[in-house]
Structure 1
Amino acid sequence: MTGTRLVLKRNGKDEPEKPFWISFSDLMTALMVLFLVAMSVALLAVTKTVTETERARAEREAALDALLDEVEKAAHQFPGVSVDRNRNVIDFGERALFDTRSHQLKSNQAILLRQFVPKVLEIARSQLGRQWLKRIVVEGFTDQRGTYLFNLNLSLQRSQRVLCVLLNSSSAGEGELSPEDQEQIRELFLVGGYSFNSAKASLEESRRIEFRLEFFGIGETPLLKVDIPRGNFGTCSMGS
Structure 2
Amino acid sequence: MARGIRNANRYTDSSDEGEKESVWVSYTDLMSGLVIIFALVLMIAIYNMHNSYEKSKAEIKDKQEQIEKQRKMIKDVVGVKSEIIAALMKAFKDSNLNLQVDPQTGAIRFSGGVFFSSNSTHITPSGKKYLEEFIPQYIGILLSDQFKGEVSQIIVEGHTDRKGGYLFNLNLSQGRALSVVKEIYSPSFPKFKNKEELSSIITANGRSYSVPIYYKRKIDAEKSRRVEFTFRLKDDEVLKKIEGMMKK
| TM-score bucket of the superposed structures, by smaller chain | 0.7 to 0.9
> Which letter does structure 2 place at the counterpart of 1:13?
D
> Please, which runs of 5 or more residues in structure 1 have no aligned partner?
221-240
Report the counterpart of residue 242 of structure 2 in structure 1: none
- Paired position in structure 2 for 1:217: 235
Q: Which residue of 2 aligns with 1:223?
A: none
Does 2:195 match 1:182?
A: yes
- In structure 2, the partner of 1:154 is 172
Shift of 1:154: 1.4
Partner of 1:78, secondary structure, is: coil
Whichever of the two has the greater Rg, that structure is 2
Which of 31, 34, 38 is equivalent to 2:51? 34
More helix by share: 2
Residue 159 of structure 1: how far off its partner (Å): 0.8
TM-score if structure 1 supplies the norm length? Answer: 0.76
Paired position in structure 1 for 2:29: 13
Q: CA deviation at 1:40?
A: 1.4
Contact 1:167–1:177, Cα closer than 8 Å, also in 2: no
Say if 2:70 is the partner of 1:53: yes
What number of residue pairs does the alignment pair up?
Answer: 215
Q: Once the 2 structures are TM-superposed, how far is the Cα of residue 190 of structure 1 from its aligned partner?
A: 0.4
**Between the two proteins, what is the percent identity of the paired residues?**
19
Q: Deviations over 1:62-96 (max 9, x none)?
A: 11101111122222252332211334411123772
Post-superposition offset of 1:195: 1.7
Q: Distance in 2 between matches of 1:95 and 1:213?
A: 23
Matched, 1:66 2:100: no
Partners of 1:93 and 1:219 in 2: CA distance: 29
SS at match of 1:65: helix
For residues 153 and 129 of structure 1, what CA distance do their matches in structure 2 show?
33
Whether the 8 Å CA contact 1:97–1:204 is kept in 2: the answer is no
Amino acid at match of 1:45: D
Q: Quick check: 69-78 or 37-46, which moved more?
A: 69-78
Decide whether the 8 Å contact of 2:101 with 2:109 is kept in 1.
yes
* Structure 1 vs Structure 2 CA RMSD: 2.8
TM-score, normalised to structure 2, is: 0.74
**Partner in structure 2 of residue 198 of structure 1:** 211
Deviations, residues 79-128 of structure 1 (Å, cap 9, x unaligned): 33221133441112377242111122222321221222122222233344
Match of 1:122 in 2: 140
